[in-house]
Every structure is written in C-alpha cells, then in structure tokens.
Structure 1
C-alpha cells in the first residue's frame, strides 16, 4: 500500500513538473477623442506663457504703449534668450519678461537685467 501511494505521488509530481504555464500575448487599443492632443498642446502653451502654473516673471516697465514698445525693443536686442511680451492692465501697458519655473531662476535673470533696466522687479502673476 505504501508503495502504491509513493508511486501515485511520484506520478503526480512528475505531471505537475511537466505542466508549464504559458504567457499570453495581448494587444491594447486606445480610443481617444481627436481633440485631446490639441488640448494638451494648448495647456503646454498656457503653462509656458504663464497663464497657468506657478511661474515667475520680471516686469521692466509700466506706462504708455509707445514707451512700452521702445522698452521691449531695447530688451529684445540685449536679452534674446528670455521671452518678452507687452500686457495691457488698465490703464497701463506693462513689459513682462520670461516665464521662470522658480524664484531662484527669476532672481538670477533679474540680476543681469537690472544692469540695463534698474527699475525691473520679479513677481508672480495672479492666476486668471
């Protein structure tokens, strides 16, 4: 009887050892709205423009439109590496520079910019 149990146990172990699991190959298909890539691109632009996100900017000037145009032209000739824009906030036109990820990055730029634009200052735009 003991021999019969050992024989059955040996066969069971042999069968279990022979049995192997097989991996299954699968394929995933993603169906997404065609507008999603365009929305992601728009969000990226808004982050880069400082409309959304925790970014810092530098203000060079606040006043009338003609003077703002002169300031931005001078700035762009001296510092082409940082973006610049004129923003209208009633009643003034403001020259804003950069879109810095943190205050350290903005302060480093400010040190260079202040040599040519002493009234420049760093700020964090309010979210619109």
Structure 2
C-alpha cells in the first residue's frame, strides 16, 4: 500500500466520524429542545398541586364565608367573582350555594399570572397628560 492510499482512507474515516458526530449532536439538541418545551407546558399546569392542597385543607366545596376567608377577600367580593363567572358554585343538598375549591384555586393561579395594567397617567382637566419637568 502506498502512503497516498492510507492518507485518503484516513480522510474518509475522519469525514465519516465527523458526519456521525454532527448527526448525534443535532439529535441531542433536538431532544433538549423538546424537553424544554415539555417543561414549559408543565409549568402551565402548576396550579393543580395547589388545588389538591386546597382540597385537602378545605374540602371539595365551601360556603361563601369560608371561600372569602380562603381567598382573603370580603363576602361581597366573592359574590362579585361568582357573578362574573370567575368562581364556580354548586348547590348543596339543602339548596345553598357552595363554592368549588378547585375552581377557586385555579382562579387564584390564573389571576396571579394576569398582566397588570399600566399605571394611569395623570391628566389635566382638558385631557392632556401632565408632564413632569425635572
């Protein structure tokens, strides 16, 4: 065998190894991207453990007074949330309205993720914004 044949064979081998390495690297990158996407999707379902904890603490359904205590708001605010459809209620055997705890936990989780509105700009009586000059 001549030296040129050995050199050509080694170059082909190196190119094959490089191609295999590139394919393996792209496969790993693809897998990591899918794992990151799956982790992001799981982060959206974070309130479920909180809802389970609330159910274990408070029970499946609670009355409005307990719901207000649980959410840290007034009873009238609970009534407003029920009227808006933010909280889900069911009727008990005695015909009274009861708040579903899982729905309340999901509402709290979604409310904490909402984008808060920008602060209002102070306006003059004519409706022009007040400019603060330093």
Confirm or deny a common fold (TM above 0.5): no
Question: TM-score normalised to the size of structure 1?
Answer: 0.29
> Which structure's residues are more often helix, by fraction?
2
Structure whose CA Rg is larger: 1
Please identify which structure carries the higher strand content: 1
